Structure 1
């Protein structure tokens, strides 16, 4: 199959840019999925291991891919409720 594929690319050279763009998009999608899986705390595979994963997220670390001038301050009411429920 690979010989016929390369033979097709040799005969129809206009398919080479299309193949390059589609391949780079596929590699980028897989790379971003792997990056999100291992570095983002909001991506969870095992839900049964930690039923409340939002409790372990560090609020000072940005969760988005790009964060501009974000400042985090704790809400006192929520912190007091959180202390009462524990």
Structure 2
């Protein structure tokens, strides 16, 4: 008996399979979306300091509301001194 024959025999399982499939697809999609972001470190050997390449003007969150980035002067001075 195949999977589809079982679903046709027990029609009450169709919503359960549908919701489980949608949830798994959504979780996989969000995981792949999160891996593409620049603040996620996958390979530390090729890029040991990935935080240096992060664009401060690009939003880091899925939804950003009223966010403005302003550089902190003391941190900029420290960064210039350590280079």
Band the TM-score falls in, shorter-chain normalisation? over 0.9
Match of 1:58 among 49, 55, 60: 55
Q: Distance in 2 between matches of 1:85 and 1:61?
A: 25
Q: Where in structure 2 are there 5+ consecutive unaligned residues? A: none
* Residues matched between the structures, number: 83
User: What is the CA deviation profile of residues 21-80 of structure 1, one whole-angstrom value per residue up to 9, with x for unaligned ones?
Assistant: 000111111111222222x11122111111111111011111000000001100000000
Q: Distance in 2 between matches of 1:8 and 1:53?
A: 50
Match of 1:70 in 2: 67
Q: Where in structure 1 are there 5+ consecutive unaligned residues? A: none
Name the SS of the counterpart of 1:73 in structure 2: coil
TM-score by length of 1: 0.89
TM-score by length of 2: 0.92
The RMSD of aligned alpha carbons is 1.1
Structure 1 runs of 4+ off > 6 angstroms? none
Q: Distance in 2 between matches of 1:78 and 1:43?
A: 22
